[in-house]
Structure formats: C-alpha cells, structure tokens
C-alpha cells in the first residue's frame, strides 16, 4: 500500500509539494516530501503548501517526515523550503542535485527581496534563513544511489530531467516498493540541455508532471525560426522586444539562440539582459558544463557557449532610449520586477512586442497579457493600456503529451499519478494513458489535500540457491539447444521467463530461501520420502501394427522399438517446445519420467517416474496410453 | 564471468630510446618543426649476465627519428578476449593500454569508468600519441602482434625488454574509437550486470574520478582497491570506505612500496628546493603530466612563493598539448572534489585554485614550446612539462635549455619513473637533480589498519609488498600474496541469488511447520527484468513438483485397502532391506515401503492412481 497526497500541484500548477507514504512492516513506514514549492499566483498564505496536513499542531515535522527531495531550482518547486525548514522547524535530510543546490538559493534570495523589500511584507524568511536552510541540503550526483539515514532499504537515485540545469527525476525505493517523481522534465534535447532519461525502473507509482498534457508541439527547429523571425521583424521596424524570462534556464537557451542569429546576420541592434543576477547565472552554467548537453561539453574548452558577445547588461536609464532593442528581463510572469517595469513603459506602443516564452500562473500580469486583455490592472492605482503585439512561444521545456507517453514507456510504471497541470488536461491525458497502456493498473490525478491509496504488490525478498538456479537456467538452455535441430528454428527466441520449482524455507532470523528439495531437507533436518512408480505398458502386437504400420515409416520390425519411436514422436509433437526430451537407444527420458525397453519382456515397455513429477507423468501417460492401445 | 580490472601501459620501455629531439641547439625555443637529429648515445639496460654492470651502447636514433617508440602492454597472451565480459577502470593512470584491447583484440565486452577518468584518459592517450606516436603510421601489425614487426627483429638480440609485449603506439583514431566504447558511471551508481551481479565504483581519493570497485554477487562482495589515498588535504573527493563494508575478499594493488618522505614532508622539501633555486635566479623543471597531484603542487607553490614575497615575479608554466583541456576540464569537476572545493560551487567560484592563478597571470598553459610561449615567457620560472620519461615533449627542450646551468633544478616527483634511467642520456649536464616522490598511495600500515577494522575472509596483496604483518589477520582470514602471471584461486561461496517473490505467487504457497521452520513447495516462473530476478505466478502445468515426507504405517494402508474391498494383501517383511513388501493379486500390484523411499509397481496404469492415492495419503505432502 502506498499513499499519495499533493499539498500543492494537485490539479494545479504552482507550489509543487507531494507527500508519499510507503513501506511495509519490514521496512517501517516512510514519509517522503517531493518538492517544497511556492505559488506565483498568491500573495497570502496560499502561496505555500498547507503543511498543517502533515502535522495539525504545526510541530514535529522532523518526526513526521523522513526526507525532502527537491527536483529543480524553479521557485514553484523549492520556494517554500526555507519557510518549512527555518520557520516550521523541519530538520531532517534534504536532497537535491549539485546545480540545484548552487542555484536555488539565488532564486530564493531574489524572491525574498521582491516580497520583503518591494511589497514590504514582514513575516517572511530572511537571507540568513536561506543560507541556514541550504546548509542542511545534501547534494547528489546523477545515478548516485544514496541511502537515506544509512538505511539499506531506503534508497534514492536521481535521473537527468532536461528541464533546467540540474533538474532531476528521482526514484525512491523503500524495501520492495518504488516510486518515481519526475519534477518537470523534457524529453527532447534543446540548445543547452540533453533529453530526460530513466532506467526501466518499473515503479509501483510514477508521479509525473502534465503541464503540456494536451499539446503536441511542432518541431523545435520551426519554433526557433518562428521566434527569431518575430524578433527580427519587430526590430527591423524600429520596435522594442521584451522577453520576460526566468533569469536562469530558459534565458540561457534563448541567449544562445539570439547570439548565434545576431552573429550570422551581422545585426547591431542592442540586446540587453536585466539584472546582475544573470551574469552570475552564466558563471554557474560555466561551472556545471557537465550537466549541459554533449555539444556544449565537447566544445567548452575552446568556446564557452555561455560567454555572450552580443548581449549587454541592462540599465534602467535605457528605459527611455529611442530605437530598436531586445531585452531579456526577469521575472517571466511579469508579476513584479524589471520585466513588469519595462512592460508598463513599452506596452502602449503598437510597434513594440512582448514575447512570452513560458507558462504564466493564473492571476499574474503575464497570464492577463496572454489572455488578450487590453486594459490590465496591475494594482489598485495602475492600469496598463496594452497596445503592443503579444506573442506566445512555447519554449518552456516541459514534456508534451508525446513526451509523457514516452516516459511511461521507458519506465513501465504500474500506476501513474498526474500532478502539475490543469484538471481538464489531466482528464484527457488519463484517457490517453488508459487507452495506450492497458497494462497500467491505475491513473490518478488527486486534488490538493486529497489522499489516494494505491495497492502495491508486496514483493518478498527471497534468496534462491545457486544450485537451484543453475539447474533451471541450464535446463532451459540445453533444452533450447537439444530440440533446435529437430524442430523449427523459428521457434527459438530469447526467453525472459523459465518455470521454476523448489522448496521455500522460512526460518527465524534468516532471509526466506528457495532451495532444491535436497538442500532444503538437509537444512531443516527433514527426511524426504521418495516415492517411485513402475508401470508396465503392454502393447498389443496386432492392434499396434494395424494402427501404426502404414502410417509411420522407418519404425523397424521390433515391436518395442517401434512403440518407443511412436511415443517419442508423440511427446516431441506435444511437449518438444517446453520440455527437454532425451532419446537414448532403449529409452526416452523426460526428467524422472522414463519409458524404457527392458530385456526380459517382448511386448512391454517399462515406465517409471518419481512422485515429484506426478503432474508431468499424468500428462505424458495420457499421451502414451493414447498412442499405444 | 570474466572481467579485467585496469589496463595500464608500461612506458618504461620508452627509456630505452633516445629522446625525440624537437628543438635546435639555439635557445630560442621557438622552432617546433625543425627536427634535427642529435647524435646522443644512450645506455641500454643492464645486461643480466654482465655482472660488473658495464653498459652496452646502442643506437636507436633511427627508430626514434621515424617516430618509432615502443611501449609495453600487460601480457595479453593468456587472455581469451572473446570471453572477457567487462573491464573496470580505476583511474586514468591505469587505462593507457586500452586502445590495444579495444582496437586490436576480439574483446567485445563492456568497459566502465567514471566520467573524469574517461576524459583525462583520452587526454593522456592523445598526449602520448603526440609525444611518441608515429608520424607516418602504416604498421598496424606491430600494434597487433608486436613481435613480428621489423623493429622487434632488429632489437631482438640486444634488448632485454620483453618484445612479446612491446608494440608501437596506437593512433589518435584508435584513441577516439576506444574512448567511445567506454560507458561512463558515477560514484555510488549501482550497475546490475548479468543476473544479480552488481558493481559499484567508490571514490578512492587518489585523483579526480579515481575509483575502487565493489563487486556484489549474491551474498558475497569483492572489493578491488586500486590507487587510493587517504590524504585529506588534496583536491579529489575523499576515500570512501563503503567499499570495504561486508567485503569477503579484498584485493589491494598499487600500494606504496617504499618508505620515503610522507606527502607533507615531500611538499616541504619541494618548497624549500624551489624557493632556494628561485632565490639563486634559477628555474625549476618538473617532468610531469598536467593533471593529478600537480594541481595541489601548483597551489602549494603559489602559496609559499607568495609568502616569501616571490609570488609576483615567478611565473608557472604548464606545457603540454593537453594542458589547456586538462586544466579547464578539472575546473568543471567540482562535484568530484573534496568538500572545501565543492563548497565553492555554491557561490559560483572556481573550485580549483589554478583557474584563479591563471586569471591572476601567475599560471600559464601552452601546448608546446613555440612562439605562443615566447610571448609570455619570463625567467625565473617553474615549468611543469612532459613527458616524464624525458624522451619527448617540452621537458626535453627545457632540460637542454637549462641543463648547463647549475643554478637550475629538475625535480622528479613521480614515484613510478626510473629517474636514473630517464636522466641517463643527459648525464654530464650540470643542472641540479632532486628526487622527491610525491607518493600519496596507501601504505602497508594503512592496509593493516583497514584489515583490523573490516574482516574479509581473503586478502590479496601484490608481491612487491613484503612487510605486511600477518598478526593483523584473524585466524580465519587468509592472506594471499599474488605475483605476476600466477593464477590464484579464491573461493567465494556465493550460494544465493537475491530475487523477489511476487505477492500473487506467495499467496499460493501453503507452508507447513517443520520444527521451528516453515516449508512450502513453490511452483512459479522465474522472470528476469533489468538483470533482476522475480518469482511470479504463471502457467506451471507439467513443471509442478511435489514432495513427501513422514512415515507410512503399513496397517493403515491395509485398512484402507480393506475399506475398498481389497483384503487379499500379502505382507512380507524384508529385514535385510529394511523393507515391507505388500503384494496385491487383484488388481495386480506390488508396494515396497522402506523408511526413505517407496515404490509402487503396477501392471495396469489405470489402477495406479487409486493405489498411489492411498499410499501418498500416509505422508505429509507439499
């Protein structure tokens, strides 16, 4: 049984925070928090996940939670972390990748400054709290398997997610149960990052984002051309282009795009980047080249892609400057900061253009712009007249419907839980998943605060003796080889399943073991009783030749040999693909089942077996009785 | 399962050749393409039969001039490459022979190494090709089967190095093709290979990306310890002792064999030599590669020179065709470094000091001695240059440039190089020589303390380590001293494979109590996914197995027969066989019961089932 409850990002985008409860009697129950984000659309207490769900009294979070895993540095995934650790008092382990640990405090600090200094809020985390919080974080590398609290039965492993620098998907194993949480991911490589990739984890539950659940976007290349053409057209006619972006991540990709286009076309129109934060951002990218894509990695010695020649720092004095320009400014949703300030200034001129390359949370100025509103109320006193051209370019690096399906195929989950998307889109995607993956047991999209329980198959660890394993694997191999020549080659195919039988032994304080009967008996001091059968099959000479004499050639004259041949052919026809059937001169051997010619009888075959193979013997005897009347 | 750990190259064979001359006698140091042959006679290796050690003079200029250098690979003759499943690489120092395997043998398996190991390995291979590769490469045969090459024949009489192992070097194309075949892994990444064999790399603390390998097979674990260091003040990620946990076999290699100065003492001595030389207006040459412990040495020398007020006017040069790549690449490996370097990542600072020294114009890198160097060259200076053998590269050029002046100094820090042999072609030069090995590997004492802490059943140590104290071992532990090309058998009783039993199959099992145990018959399917086993429910049919135990009571069997109207049973007791034989006339059947086995012999198969049921019911069945 596994329980999942989203405290944020349930049928919504923003303040991602999903609590998973897993484990069984042998491992103990573990509570894991995936992401601890904030919501851009709210300025009240709704901006943080409702942590009271975990502890009604608001205390002892450290006892209630075993660890927090943060998927990437976007604020809707990590924005509530300092609040939770420093103000709510959670003191347990926190995991994130190296780049996330490096970059997320910068975004947190920027967010804090805007909230506290511009909006004048007081009850908020401080710069020192961010620092203290980050000290508690354990940085992990991709694919590195980390034992939480040194527990052999509680492991986490990060996989490349592509979305932004350092973004990771995490698989968590508690005993025999596994869950994969994707965070945000991107299944197609872009200009600076590679594509998300995961092992065939076969988790009990895959928790995936579904931002673009209904979109299948056109090719990346044509979207890039489209973007560049729009920018070029606008600046050609003397307009100003505002591109609101997160300073880290998408910004770097777009800068690479503009940089190369400007170089190729010898453009001189100035390109600006707002805030000193971005220069630092590029420094981080330079130190984490190993987390970008192969192309950037292989060329970085001679040309570091993040040294931009055409892009200069923005200065507020340029606000009133005449002429064409391109400006990248944060934040991406136009809710505060430079991008909003510039937008107010440039919005009334129809020559200008705003390109919204990302997703905008409902309620933000960005969302209103995208909705086509012509008069936007920023606050009680300010109304913006929107006359500039508005373009929406989906550059945000989320997986589209195709990508989500691809990931499901890659990791083969037993259940899928959708988060980080809109409800209607999730409904659509749920149908699609059910249709295309009938082997997926369930697909859910719980709302915030709603717990879903998923039955997980309770697998029990069992140690199989090497002797038993060899016996069955070797049998399978030799059987394949032995029967090839006799029967058609096209039936030979790789197998991933072999039948196995053995004695399961459970002893106190020892792992459960599966042994050969002999091993098992000797380990528990048990004497097995071997029961064997001798059955004499009498063959009627006349009836036999009447039945088989004309139908089968090459039987020879001797009755018993002819009968043996008839039996062999019948057994091969029925069981040749499944069993190892060995023919010797005077007998046929299938495991303990032996049909033999014994010297002192002229018209009898002796059939023997061990009671162990009773099932086999019953099936084979039916065939023998059928062919030998 | 066959696998190989590490694939190193013995470059000491290079010492048998005269230095490749890449510089004129004039000291301008700018003419790379101008190769003149200097008629340097070199001394061959000692002839074992020649007791007084008189050295034989030999000329190998012709080969060197044609770019013909030979290197020695490990002895591959006994290896059936087709049967080798995988190769594990522990560090970039131990992989330089790999292209010979991937490009010139039938090896088809997989190769695993950490990301930094692969990249630095590629750089070192290319550097080696640059220094010693053939200018016109046509003779692929001499890489494949070295002893048949012309050079081999020519040298056969005089040379003592093993010609069956000597080959001309691979090409850059070989290097790229080889590197592309290596699968990158990270520390603590569990790789499941074949059934339930699991391999994991753990940091060995020796250099960036260096690893020790743990091989888990079922219940047994083998720890393979290669070049490792527990010194805490150097830049790589610290030694991870997890590799030893629950290991039943530990194999040590590349241990410190000599007791010379400790790392700190050696550093002190180097500092002192460098400061003295600089104060005497001399220059210092370190023959070395542009990676590894050199990064720490550079940092340390800058610190001491600054402390002595010399920092500003002494320049350091790292000269190698790979210097730029190596230094820049090191700087993006913060995650692979010790904690203090790692922490710099979180403030967007460069994790390595050399990056800072480069921006402060204290440290410079150039590919070779040419005009790019003359622009920045300023004496006094410290030069780090290869090749360590002093047979090619900028080290040779600087040795010639500075060799006549007693104020200059050459410091050998690499414990692997026979510095006497290396310096022999330059005998007579007045430059000061110092041998100060910076050896950071595990010492015998450390091995002993590891053995006291962990309790492996078997410990393997190389034969050149002779002082291991047997008293550290517990009575049930076995110490094996392994030697070159001697096969050692180590028994590991891997009796079990870990699998998981699905809930649906588990529900079908009806366990019975025997003593304090529960036993049950399991009939299911063994599935493999991702090299992991799962026992699951499936169609069993004729594969079902049954077991019986307990004692049969004859009287009860007879009672049952009587109940169904068979009362003419004849019972004979065979004391000799400890058997009871029940014979029935109609239907005709013989039942033989002994304590541990029974047989039912019938003429007519139609009544077998009926008799079998009566007998079987006497036993406990599962």
Residues B554-571: what's their mean pLDDT? Answer: 85
Segment 9-68 of chain A within 8 Å of chain B by CB: none
B-chain CB neighbours of A537 within 8 Å are: 605
Which chain A residue lies closest to B603 (C-alpha atoms)?
Answer: A536
Domain of residue A123, CATH code: 3.60.15.10
Residue A276, pLDDT > 60, answer: no
Residue A420, pLDDT > 60, answer: yes
Name the domain count of chain B.
4
Residue B151, pLDDT > 50, answer: no
Residues A409-425: what's their mean pLDDT? Answer: 94
Which chain B residue lies closest to A455 (C-alpha atoms)?
Answer: B503
Residue A202 near chain B (CB below 8 Å): yes
**Nearest by Cα to B281 from B402, B384, B362, B372:** B402
Which chain B residue lies closest to A494 (C-alpha atoms)?
Answer: B528
B-chain CB neighbours of A134 within 8 Å are: 346
Segment 484-513 of chain B within 8 Å of chain A by CB: 494-504, 506, 509, 511
Residue B545 lies in a domain: yes
**Nearest by Cα to A241 from A372, A357, A336, A376:** A357
Same domain (yes/no): B462, B520: no
Percent of the residues in chain A that have a pLDDT greater than 70, as a whole number: 93
CA distance B154 to B162: 13
CA distance B461 to A358: 60
Residue B47, pLDDT > 80, answer: no
Percent of the residues in chain A that have a pLDDT greater than 90, as a whole number: 49
Residue tagged 């800068």 (tokens): A255
Which chain A residue lies closest to B590 (C-alpha atoms)?
Answer: A534
Same domain (yes/no): A384, A401: no
**Nearest by Cα to B184 from B135, B251, B114:** B114
Give me chain B's average pLDDT, please: 83
Same domain (yes/no): B227, B136: no
For residue B239, CA distances in Å to A557, B338, B339 come to 78, 10, 12
Domain of residue B193, CATH code: 3.60.15.10
| pLDDT band, very low/low/confident/very high, at B73 (cuts 50, 70, 90) | confident
Got the DSSP string for B188-238? Answer: T--EEETTTEEEEEEE-SSSTT-EEEEEEETTEEEEEE-S----TTSSBPP
Range of the domain at B479: 186-255+443-486
The per-residue pLDDT for B257 is 80
Residue B86 lies in a domain: yes
Same domain (yes/no): B405, B351: yes
CA distance B584 to B611: 10
Tokens read off for A510: 């020892």
| pLDDT band, very low/low/confident/very high, at A285 (cuts 50, 70, 90) | confident
CB contact under 8 A, A504 and B509: yes
The per-residue pLDDT for A98 is 96
The per-residue pLDDT for A219 is 64
Same domain (yes/no): A165, A68: yes
- Least confident range of A183-197, A483-497, B379-393: A483-497
**Nearest by Cα to A272 from A234, A316, A228:** A316
B-chain CB neighbours of A536 within 8 Å are: 601-603
CB contact under 8 A, A503 and B525: no
CA distance B362 to A518: 74
Do A167 and A183 meet the contact criterion of CB atoms below 8 Å apart? yes
Segment 434-473 of chain A within 8 Å of chain B by CB: 457-467, 469, 472
Residue tagged 């373009």 (tokens): A391
The per-residue pLDDT for A189 is 87
Phi, psi at A120, each rounded to 5°: 70, 25
Same domain (yes/no): A89, A186: yes
Residues A72-87: what's their mean pLDDT? Answer: 94
| pLDDT band, very low/low/confident/very high, at A253 (cuts 50, 70, 90) | confident
Q: Which of B194, B211, B517 to mutate to test the interface with A (most CBs of A within 10 A)?
A: B517
**Nearest by Cα to B469 from B438, B500, B446:** B446
The strand pair at A205-209 and A177-181 is best described as: parallel
B-chain CB neighbours of A625 within 8 Å are: 605
A-chain CB neighbours of B509 within 8 Å are: 504
The per-residue pLDDT for B485 is 72
CB contact under 8 A, B543 and A616: yes
Report how many helices (DSSP H) and strands (DSSP E) chain A contains, helices first: 18, 30
Same domain (yes/no): B91, B1: yes
The residue among A379 and B543 whose pLDDT is bigger is: B543
Find the CB nearest A513 among B496, B530, B538: B496
Residue A625 near chain B (CB below 8 Å): yes
Report angle CA B408, B414, B418 to the nearest 5 degrees: 90
The residue among B366 and A117 whose pLDDT is bigger is: B366
Segment 105-134 of chain A within 8 Å of chain B by CB: 105, 134
Enumerate the H helices of B233-383 as residue ranges.
Answer: 263-279, 294-307, 323-331, 339-345, 353-359, 371-376
Residue B132 lies in a domain: yes
List pLDDT tens digits, range B165-176.
Answer: 677 889 999 999
For residue B275, CA distances in Å to B233, B270, B296, B404 come to 22, 9, 17, 20
Same domain (yes/no): B99, B14: yes
Residues B205-218: what's their mean pLDDT? Answer: 92
Same domain (yes/no): B427, B467: no
Secondary structure class of A335 (helix, strand, coil)? coil
CB contact under 8 A, A464 and B612: no
Same domain (yes/no): B154, B224: no
Range of the domain at A600: 532-627
Do B208 and B236 meet the contact criterion of CB atoms below 8 Å apart? yes
Which chain A residue lies closest to B322 (C-alpha atoms)?
Answer: A301
The residue among A487 and A561 whose pLDDT is bigger is: A561
Give me chain A's average pLDDT, please: 87
In a 10 Å sphere around its CB, with 0-12 CB exposed, 13-18 middle and 19+ buried, how is residue B575 labelled?
A: exposed
Do A79 and A111 meet the contact criterion of CB atoms below 8 Å apart? yes
Domain of residue A547, CATH code: 3.30.310.50
List pLDDT tens digits, range A11-67.
Answer: 998 899 999 999 988 889 999 999 999 987 787 888 899 999 898 777 789 999 999
A-chain CB neighbours of B550 within 8 Å are: 529
Which chain B residue lies closest to A159 (C-alpha atoms)?
Answer: B189
The per-residue pLDDT for B143 is 62
CA distance A272 to B280: 53
Residue B42 lies in a domain: no
Do B121 and B96 meet the contact criterion of CB atoms below 8 Å apart? yes
List pLDDT tens digits, range A519-541.
Answer: 888 888 888 899 999 999 888 88
Tokens read off for B551: 């004692």
Name the domain count of chain A.
4
Same domain (yes/no): B273, B414: yes
Greatest mean pLDDT among A147-161, B20-34, B150-164 lies in A147-161
**Nearest by Cα to B208 from B330, B322, B385, B343:** B330
Tokens read off for B353: 């000091």
Min CA distance, B544 vs chain A (Å)?
6
The per-residue pLDDT for B377 is 93
Same domain (yes/no): B150, B191: no
Q: For this structure, is A530 an active site residue?
A: no
Residue B85 near chain A (CB below 8 Å): no
Same domain (yes/no): A184, A106: yes
The residue among A496 and B598 whose pLDDT is bigger is: B598
Do A402 and A192 meet the contact criterion of CB atoms below 8 Å apart? no
Residues A505-517: what's their mean pLDDT? Answer: 88
H or E element that contains A227: helix A220-236
Find the CB nearest B549 among A142, A514, A529: A529
The per-residue pLDDT for B205 is 96
pTM for this one?
Answer: 0.81
Same domain (yes/no): A384, A403: no
**Nearest by Cα to B582 from B552, B554, B553:** B554
Q: How many CB atoms lie within 10 A of CB B35?
A: 14
The residues, ordered by sequence, that sit 6+ positions from B496 with a Cβ below 8 Å of its Cβ are: A463, A464, A465, A466, A511, A513, B218, B219
Find the CB nearest B334 among A287, A461, A500: A287
Residues B577-588: what's their mean pLDDT? Answer: 86
Residue B46 lies in a domain: no
Do A161 and A183 meet the contact criterion of CB atoms below 8 Å apart? yes
Same domain (yes/no): A366, A443: no
| pLDDT band, very low/low/confident/very high, at B479 (cuts 50, 70, 90) | confident
Min CA distance, B594 vs chain A (Å)?
9
CA distance B455 to A277: 53
Residue among A86, A117, A155, A209 flagged as catalytic: A209
CA distance A529 to B553: 13
B-chain CB neighbours of A511 within 8 Å are: 496
B-chain CB neighbours of A532 within 8 Å are: 597-600
Min CA distance, A478 vs chain B (Å)?
16
**Nearest by Cα to A582 from A573, A572, A614, A498:** A572
Secondary structure class of A205 (helix, strand, coil)? strand
The per-residue pLDDT for B44 is 28
Residue B596 lies in a domain: yes
B-chain CB neighbours of A499 within 8 Å are: 523-526, 538, 540, 543
Residue B245 lies in a domain: yes
CB contact under 8 A, B519 and A504: yes
Residue tagged 């590991």 (tokens): B492
Residue B525 near chain A (CB below 8 Å): yes
3 state SS for B93-142: HHCCCHHHHHHHCCCCCEEEEEHHHHHHHHHHHHHHHHHHCCCCCCCCHH
Tokens read off for A31: 């509570």
Same domain (yes/no): B125, B243: no
The per-residue pLDDT for A486 is 44
- Among A506, A524, A542, the domain-final residue is A524
List pLDDT tens digits, range A545-566.
Answer: 888 877 766 667 788 888 898 9
Tokens read off for A360: 């905008």
Same domain (yes/no): B92, B6: yes
Residue A283 near chain B (CB below 8 Å): yes
The per-residue pLDDT for A7 is 96
Min CA distance, A612 vs chain B (Å)?
4
CA distance B96 to B434: 28
């Amino acid at each position: 049984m596994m329980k999942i409850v989203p405290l944020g990002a349930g049928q919504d985008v923003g303040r991602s925070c999903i609590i998973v409860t897993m484990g069984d009697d042998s491992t103990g129950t573990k509570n894991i928090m995936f992401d601890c984000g904030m919501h851009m659309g709210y300025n009240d207490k709704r901006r943080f996940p409702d942590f009271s769900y975990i502890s009604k009294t608001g205390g002892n979070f450290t006892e209630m939670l075993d660890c927090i895993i943060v998927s990437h540095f976007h604020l809707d995934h990590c924005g509530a972390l300092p609040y939770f650790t420093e103000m709510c008092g959670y003191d347990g382990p926190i995991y994130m990748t190296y780049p996330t640990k490096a970059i997320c405090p910068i975004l947190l600090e920027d967010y804090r400054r805007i909230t506290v200094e511009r909006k004048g809020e007081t009850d908020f985390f401080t710069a020192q709290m961010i620092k203290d919080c980050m000290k508690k974080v354990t940085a992990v590398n991709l694919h590195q398997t980390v034992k939480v609290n040194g527990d052999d039965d509680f492991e986490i492993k990060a996989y490349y997610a592509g979305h932004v620098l350092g973004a990771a998907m995490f698989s968590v194993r508690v005993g025999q149960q596994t869950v994969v949480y994707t965070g945000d991911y991107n299944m197609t490589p872009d200009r600076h990052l590679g594509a998300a990739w995961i092992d065939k984890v076969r988790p009990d539950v895959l928790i995936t984002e579904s931002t673009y659940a209904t979109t299948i976007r056109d090719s990346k290349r044509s979207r890039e051309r489209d973007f560049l053409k729009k920018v070029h057209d606008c600046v050609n006619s003397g307009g100003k282009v505002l591109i609101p972006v997160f300073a880290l991540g998408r910004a770097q990709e777009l800068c690479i795009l503009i940089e190369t286009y400007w170089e190729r076309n010898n453009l001189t129109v100035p390109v600006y980047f707002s805030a000193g934060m971005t220069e630092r951002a590029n420094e981080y990218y330079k130190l984490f080249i190993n987390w970008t894509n192969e192309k950037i990695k292989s060329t970085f010695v001679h040309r570091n892609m993040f040294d931009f020649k055409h892009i200069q720092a923005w200065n507020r004095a340029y606000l009133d400057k005449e002429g064409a320009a391109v400006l990248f400014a944060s934040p991406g949703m136009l809710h505060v900061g430079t991008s909003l300030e510039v937008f107010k200034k440039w919005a009334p001129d129809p020559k200008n253009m705003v390109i919204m390359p990302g997703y905008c949370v409902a309620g933000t100025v960005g969302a209103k712009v995208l909705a086509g509103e012509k008069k936007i109320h920023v606050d009680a006193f300010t109304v913006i007249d929107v006359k500039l051209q508005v373009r929406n370019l989906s550059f945000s690096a989320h997986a589209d419907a195709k990508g989500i399906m691809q990931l499901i195929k890659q990791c083969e989950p037993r259940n899928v839980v959708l988060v980080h998307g809109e409800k209607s889109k999730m409904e659509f995607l749920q149908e699609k998943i059910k249709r295309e993956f009938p082997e997926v047991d369930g697909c859910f999209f719980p709302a915030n605060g709603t717990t879903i329980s998923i039955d997980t198959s309770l697998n029990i660890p069992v140690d199989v003796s090497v002797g038993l394993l060899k016996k069955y694997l070797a049998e399978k191999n030799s059987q394949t080889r032995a029967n090839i020549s006799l029967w058609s080659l096209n039936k030979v195919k790789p197998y991933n399943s072999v039948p196995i039988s053995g004695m399961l032994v459970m002893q106190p304080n020892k792992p459960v073991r599966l042994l050969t009967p002999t091993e098992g008996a000797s380990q528990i001091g048990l004497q097995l009783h071997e029961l064997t059968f001798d059955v004499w099959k009498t063959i009627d000479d006349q009836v036999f030749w009447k039945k088989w004499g004309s139908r089968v050639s090459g039987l020879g004259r001797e009755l018993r040999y002819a009968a043996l041949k008839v039996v062999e052919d019948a057994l091969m026809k029925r069981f040749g693909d499944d069993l190892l059937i060995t023919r010797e001169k005077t007998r046929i051997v299938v495991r303990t089942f032996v049909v033999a010619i014994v010297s002192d009888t002229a018209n009898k075959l002796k059939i023997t077996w061990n009671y162990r193979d009773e099932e086999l013997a019953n099936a084979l005897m039916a065939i023998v009785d059928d062919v030998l009347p | 399962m066959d696998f190989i750990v590490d694939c190193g190259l013995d470059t000491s064979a290079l010492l048998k050749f005269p230095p490749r001359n890449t510089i004129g006698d004039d000291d301008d140091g700018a003419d790379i393409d101008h190769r003149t042959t200097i008629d340097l006679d070199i001394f061959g290796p000692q002839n074992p039969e020649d007791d007084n050690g008189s050295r034989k003079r030999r000329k190998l200029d012709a080969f060197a001039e044609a770019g013909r250098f030979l290197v020695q690979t490990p002895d591959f003759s006994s290896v059936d490459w087709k049967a080798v499943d995988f190769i594990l690489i522990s560090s970039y120092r131990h992989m330089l022979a790999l292209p010979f395997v991937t490009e010139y043998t039938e090896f088809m398996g997989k190769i695993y190494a950490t990301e930094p190991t692969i990249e630095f390995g590629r750089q070192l291979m290319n550097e080696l090709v640059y220094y010693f590769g053939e200018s016109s490469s046509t003779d692929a045969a001499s890489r494949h089967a070295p002893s048949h090459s012309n050079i081999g024949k020519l040298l056969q009489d005089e040379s003592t190095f093993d010609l069956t192992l000597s080959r001309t070097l691979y090409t850059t194309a070989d290097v790229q093709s080889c590197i592309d075949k290596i699968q990158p892994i990270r520390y603590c990444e569990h790789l499941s290979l074949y059934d339930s064999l699991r391999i994991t790399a753990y940091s060995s603390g020796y250099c960036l990306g260096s690893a020790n390998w743990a091989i888990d097979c079922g219940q047994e674990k083998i720890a393979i310890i290669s070049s490792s260091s527990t010194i805490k003040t150097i830049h790589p990620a610290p030694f991870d002792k997890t590799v030893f946990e629950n290991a039943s076999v530990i194999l040590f290699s590349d241990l410190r064999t000599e007791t010379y100065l400790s790392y700190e003492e050696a550093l002190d001595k180097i500092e002192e030599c460098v400061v003295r030389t600089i104060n005497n207006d001399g220059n210092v040459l370190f023959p070395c590669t542009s990676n590894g412990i050199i990064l720490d040495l550079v940092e340390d020398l800058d610190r001491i020179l600054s402390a002595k007020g010399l920092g500003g006017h002494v320049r350091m040069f790292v000269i190698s065709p790979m210097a730029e790549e190596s230094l820049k690449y090191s700087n993006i490996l913060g995650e692979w470094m010790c904690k203090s370097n790692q922490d710099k990542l979180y403030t967007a600072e460069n994790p390595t000091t050399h990056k800072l020294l480069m921006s402060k114009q204290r440290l410079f890198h150039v590919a070779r001695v040419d005009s790019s160097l003359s622009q920045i060259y300023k004496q006094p200076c410290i030069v780090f240059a290869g090749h360590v053998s002093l047979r090619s590269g900028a080290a040779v050029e600087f040795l010639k440039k500075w060799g006549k002046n007693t104020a200059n100094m050459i410091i050998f820090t690499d414990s692997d190089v026979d510095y006497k042999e290396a310096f022999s072609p330059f005998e007579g030069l007045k430059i000061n020589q110092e041998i100060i090995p910076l050896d950071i590997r595990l010492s015998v004492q450390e091995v002993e303390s590891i053995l006291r802490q962990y309790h492996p059943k078997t410990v393997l140590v190389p034969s050149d380590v002779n002082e291991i104290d047997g008293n550290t071992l517990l009575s049930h532990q076995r110490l094996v001293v392994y030697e070159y090309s001697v096969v050692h058998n180590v028994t590991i009783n891997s009796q079990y494979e870990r699998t998981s039993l699905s809930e649906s199959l588990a529900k079908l099992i009806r366990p019975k109590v025997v003593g304090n145990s529960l036993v049950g018959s399991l009939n299911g399917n063994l599935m493999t996914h991702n090299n992991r086993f799962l026992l699951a429910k499936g169609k069993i049919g004729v594969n079902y197995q049954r077991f019986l135990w307990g004692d049969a009571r004859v009287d009860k069997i007879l009672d049952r027969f009587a109940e169904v109207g068979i009362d003419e049973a004849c019972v004979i007791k065979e004391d000799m066989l400890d058997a009871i034989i029940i014979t029935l006339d109609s239907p005709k059947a013989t039942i033989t019961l002994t304590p541990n086995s029974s047989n039912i012999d019938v003429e007519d198969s139609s009544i077998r089932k009926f008799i079998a049921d009566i007998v079987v019911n006497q036993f406990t069945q599962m």
